[in-house]
Amino acid sequence: MKARTLLVLVLLANLSFALAQDESNPPGTGKKRRGQKRGRGRQQKQRPSDTPVLLGNVPVVKGEDDLTIFIESYKGVNEFESNYNVVPGKKGQCTFGGITMFNNAVWSPKPCVTCLCSKGNVACDEMKCLPLSCPIRVKPAGECCPICSDIEPNDPSVLESVPPKSQAEIEQLLQQEEEELQEEEERLRKRDEERKRRRKEKKKLQEERQKQLFEDRRREEEEIRSRMEEEEEKRREEEERRSKLEEEEREKRQQQKESRQEEERKREAERRVLEREQRERERIMEEEEDEEAEEKEVEQEDDDFLRGDVFRMPNSVPIPPPPPPPPLPPAAPEGIPSLPPGCVISDITLSCNNAKLTSIPPLVDPQLKILNLEGNSITTIPAAAFNGIPNLERIDLGKNKITSAGIDPQAFTNLKRLTRLYMDANMLAQIPQALPPTLEELRINENVLQIIDEDHFQDLNNLVTLELEGNILSEGTVSPSAFKPLTRLSYLRLGRNHFRTIPQGLPELLEELYLENNLIEEISEAAFNNTRNLNIISLRHNKLDESRLAPQAWINHENLESIDLSHNQLYHVPSFLPKSLLHLVLVGNPIERIPGFVFAHMEPGIEYLYLSFNKLTNDGIDPVSFFGAFHSLIELFLDHNELTAVPLGINEMKSLRFLRLNDNKIRNFEEHSICDAFNTDDSKIVALRLENNYIDTRKISHTAFSCVRSYSSVVLKPQKIK
């Protein structure tokens, strides 16, 4: 555009020069002009003619009246500094190079120089070029200054003189330039319209996206609500079913009790009938004896009267009848003619807790179902110990002195209905043999089990619960095939043993696994490959750190909802946690950091997070540490750490109900650190603990706890002394 503008100015200068020459050459004026030229020559002795004087941006010129004239560049070009040559004139006209110019005439004496006649003064503007640092510089045709180019020109002489243009060509150029300007304006207008259209489309897209997000959130809330309702309905049905079963069991027991009581009443009635019959027989015998005695007395009196002894007195006083015999003692329950001291029978249960028994008492009662012998000194279980009570369903032999050698292999063979066997706190070195296949629960905690072979659980395919805590088991003494027969096992406790790794060969249907208080240092990728139904894992009080947790150990488990890693050696919250995790316990570790996005992959999201008694600081909690849990967290415990302020992101947790920040070092308590003032939704926080910090409660804003349901549930006192 600058080149075009300069070209137009050059053409206008040539046209003005031609018109001025035609008007300034009337007949008989040649001498005058020659005189003027000679007069001007005398002035040019002092300074060279036709040589521009460089006076900077604002030239100063002395006119005929010795007046100082300030002439600024009429072109208004800000990119280059302008230099001016001023030649004084007379009567508003200018003379330059022997040619007289009219006032306001513009001409170009040479390329890149433009002159203006202004009230007798000539102002010339020479365009200066900026220095270029490029190696190749080319001067295009019609331009005054060279430009940088990457292509070497074939003709070194780039500048070419521009021939004068005619008036039609100048008008055509001006029309083209105007059309180009109109096209440029049209293009700018279209671009603005396009921008407005795109802005409208973007706004519409954002509105649709927000609407879609709102719909997704509403749908998700509805799904969660429906899921909760379904779970509540299932729980209610389960409770109803359980209560129904319990009611049926109670009714059954009541019926059995009533039948037993009825039998006892019948026996009591029979006993009373027998007593009445016995008393009747005795009364009849007494009456017969009395009648015989009276007859003898009458006969004796008759004899005496006949002998004439009228003064004879009766020889004896009448004897009273003997008292009735004492009632018979109540009959003992059927099958148990006599119970050992300290034993109590109630319905279908016989309890001999702490009765100082040294052996299993001989019992005969087919209706007995529960036998409790806990806390005695029993050492052996003979083969015929339970022959008289074959319908037992539960036996508790805990806290005795039973050894493996003292259990006969056939001791439990005849118990076809036994489902629960408790043998805690004894002296067993191995699993008892020939256990009934009906067994569903087996407890052998606090014994001296050292080894479990592959045949110790043979035929126990109905076993659901197995507890072996507090023994001397390890991964080297438990056969990988030991748990293979337990096809229905869902609950396994192996705590307080000597395991260093996860035991191999865990049952496929296992749902709950407890391995606390062991020496476990590592969890490999294959540790839980066969247990896809795991729901709860407890690994507290071990020696785990995050570097020994394999990334693929449990991240793909879809049912694993609860993990307890308390009291280990973790320094930050482990990554690659299960996607389905809802409950995470990390209490009592030296945790210093919660990595960002560590909960982001979880679906539907973690709900219970316990980080009490760690070493967390505010530097260890990033703004995205809880990303993925803002919508799901219900309970968050951060008490007994080293926090100096409420962590970021707490006020974004929409489902939070219980929050613990007590026993930290919190001093700065921001107004919106817990309750977001811009969130108008109802809060669900029902308990907030902030005691034992360094908070000045007098400086807390009255809106700091506006999102808490009740101010009485906020615990602020006591605070530590600063």
Asked whether residue 213 falls in the same domain as residue 139, the answer is no
Asked whether residue 124 falls in the same domain as residue 259, the answer is no
Q: Which residues contact 550 (CB under 8 A, 6 or more apart)?
A: 523, 524, 525, 527
* pLDDT for 329 beyond 50: no
Asked whether residue 28 falls in the same domain as residue 136, the answer is yes
pLDDT band at 540 (very low <50, low <70, confident <90, very high): very high
Q: Which residues contact 658 (CB under 8 A, 6 or more apart)?
A: 634, 635, 636, 637, 685, 686, 687
Asked whether residue 63 falls in the same domain as residue 144, the answer is yes
Question: Who has greater pLDDT, 476 or 237?
Answer: 476
Question: Residue 469 falls within a domain, yes or no?
Answer: no
* pLDDT for 154 beyond 60: no
* pLDDT for 65 beyond 50: no
Question: Residue 257 falls within a domain, yes or no?
Answer: yes
* pLDDT for 320 beyond 60: no
Question: Who has greater pLDDT, 523 or 166?
Answer: 523
User: Is residue 553 within 8 Å of residue 574, measured between CB atoms?
Assistant: no
User: Is residue 540 within 8 Å of residue 518, measured between CB atoms?
Assistant: no
Quote the crossing angle between the two packed helices 167-307 and 2-23, to the nearest 10°: 150
pLDDT of residue 321: 47
pLDDT of residue 120: 79
For the ranges 87-96, 125-134, 571-580, which has the lowest average pLDDT?
87-96
* pLDDT for 29 beyond 60: no
Ramachandran area for residue 628 (φ above 0: left; ψ -120 to 50: alpha; else beta): left
Domain span at residue 262 reads 189-280
Per residue in 429-488, pLDDT (tens digit) is 999 988 999 999 999 999 999 999 988 898 899 999 999 999 999 999 999 999 999 999
pLDDT band at 62 (very low <50, low <70, confident <90, very high): very low
| Mean pLDDT calculated for residue range 266-285 | 68
Helix or strand or coil: residue 236? Answer: helix
CA distances in angstroms from 309 to 300, 305, 313, listed in the order given? 12, 6, 9
Question: Residue 103 falls within a domain, yes or no?
Answer: yes
User: Is residue 122 within 8 Å of residue 85, measured between CB atoms?
Assistant: yes
The size of the chain, in residues, is 722
Q: What DSSP string runs through 197-233?
A: HHHHHHHHHHHHHHHHHHHHHHHHHHHHHHHHHHHHH
pLDDT of residue 685: 87
Question: Residue 159 falls within a domain, yes or no?
Answer: no
Question: Who has greater pLDDT, 294 or 533?
Answer: 533
pLDDT of residue 99: 80
End-to-end CA distance of the chain: 73
For the ranges 109-123, 238-252, 264-278, 323-337, which has the lowest average pLDDT?
323-337
Say what the pTM is: 0.56
pLDDT of residue 112: 78
Residue percentage of the chain with pLDDT more than 70: 74
pLDDT of residue 273: 65
Per residue in 497-507, pLDDT (tens digit) is 999 999 999 99
pLDDT of residue 504: 92
Q: Which residues contact 554 (CB under 8 A, 6 or more apart)?
A: 523, 528, 534, 537, 560, 563, 576, 577, 578
pLDDT band at 8 (very low <50, low <70, confident <90, very high): low
Per residue in 388-407, pLDDT (tens digit) is 999 999 999 999 999 999 99
pLDDT band at 277 (very low <50, low <70, confident <90, very high): low
Helix or strand or coil: residue 145? Answer: coil
* pLDDT for 24 beyond 90: no
The DSSP secondary-structure symbol of 150 reads S
pLDDT of residue 50: 41
Query: What is the rounded distance in angstroms from the CA atom of residue 230 to the CA atom of residue 718?
Result: 43
The one-letter amino acid code at 68 reads T
For the ranges 217-221, 464-468, 595-599, 667-671, which has the lowest average pLDDT?
217-221
Residue percentage of the chain with pLDDT more than 90: 39
Chosen domain end from 148, 180, 206: 148
* pLDDT for 96 beyond 60: yes
For the ranges 120-129, 201-210, 360-369, 526-535, which has the lowest average pLDDT?
120-129
The one-letter amino acid code at 706 reads S
Question: Residue 143 falls within a domain, yes or no?
Answer: yes
Asked whether residue 14 falls in the same domain as residue 118, the answer is yes
The DSSP secondary-structure symbol of 251 reads H
Q: Which residues contact 274 (CB under 8 A, 6 or more apart)?
A: none
| Mean pLDDT calculated for residue range 122-137 | 75
Chosen domain end from 264, 280, 296: 280
For the ranges 72-76, 467-471, 560-564, which has the lowest average pLDDT?
72-76
Ramachandran area for residue 419 (φ above 0: left; ψ -120 to 50: alpha; else beta): alpha
Q: Which residues of 423-455 are buried (b: 16+ CB within 10 A; e: fewer)?
A: bbbbebebbbbebbeebebbbbbbbebebbeee
Question: Who has greater pLDDT, 676 or 527?
Answer: 527
Asked whether residue 128 falls in the same domain as residue 221, the answer is no
Chosen domain end from 232, 252, 280: 280
Q: Which residues contact 479 (CB under 8 A, 6 or more apart)?
A: 452, 453, 454, 505
For the ranges 30-39, 216-225, 585-594, 599-608, which has the lowest average pLDDT?
30-39
Name the token pair of 688.
């907030």
Per residue in 694-713, pLDDT (tens digit) is 998 888 888 888 888 887 88
Question: Residue 251 falls within a domain, yes or no?
Answer: yes
| Mean pLDDT calculated for residue range 89-103 | 73
Asked whether residue 139 falls in the same domain as residue 207, the answer is no
Asked whether residue 131 falls in the same domain as residue 242, the answer is no
For the ranges 76-90, 249-263, 488-502, 610-624, which has the lowest average pLDDT?
76-90
Stretch (H or E) spanning 165: none
Asked whether residue 196 falls in the same domain as residue 89, the answer is no
pLDDT of residue 131: 73
Asked whether residue 143 falls in the same domain as residue 196, the answer is no
pLDDT of residue 41: 40
| Mean pLDDT calculated for residue range 138-146 | 74
pLDDT of residue 48: 38
Q: Which residues contact 653 (CB under 8 A, 6 or more apart)?
A: 626, 629, 630, 631, 633, 636
Closest by CA to 396, choosing from 382, 375, 368, is 375
| Mean pLDDT calculated for residue range 676-691 | 78
For the ranges 254-258, 332-336, 371-375, which has the lowest average pLDDT?
332-336
The overall average pLDDT reported for the chain is 79
pLDDT of residue 697: 87
Question: Who has greater pLDDT, 8 or 688?
Answer: 688
Q: Which residues contact 237 (CB under 8 A, 6 or more apart)?
A: none
* pLDDT for 665 beyond 90: yes
The one-letter amino acid code at 75 reads K
Question: Residue 207 falls within a domain, yes or no?
Answer: yes
What total of structural domains would you count in the chain?
A: 2
For the ranges 125-129, 280-284, 669-673, which has the lowest average pLDDT?
280-284
Helix or strand or coil: residue 190? Answer: helix
Asked whether residue 221 falls in the same domain as residue 142, the answer is no
pLDDT of residue 1: 53
| Mean pLDDT calculated for residue range 614-642 | 94
The answer, yes or no, to whether the previous bond of 322 is cis (omega within 30 of 0) is no
Tell the residue number behind the tokens 């003005």, with chain if given.
16
Question: Residue 676 falls within a domain, yes or no?
Answer: no
pLDDT band at 683 (very low <50, low <70, confident <90, very high): low
Query: What is the rounded distance in angstroms from the CA atom of residue 716 to the CA atom of residue 722?
Result: 15
pLDDT of residue 16: 64
Q: What DSSP string runs through 80-99?
A: S--B----B-BTTBEEETTE
Asked whether residue 120 falls in the same domain as residue 54, the answer is yes
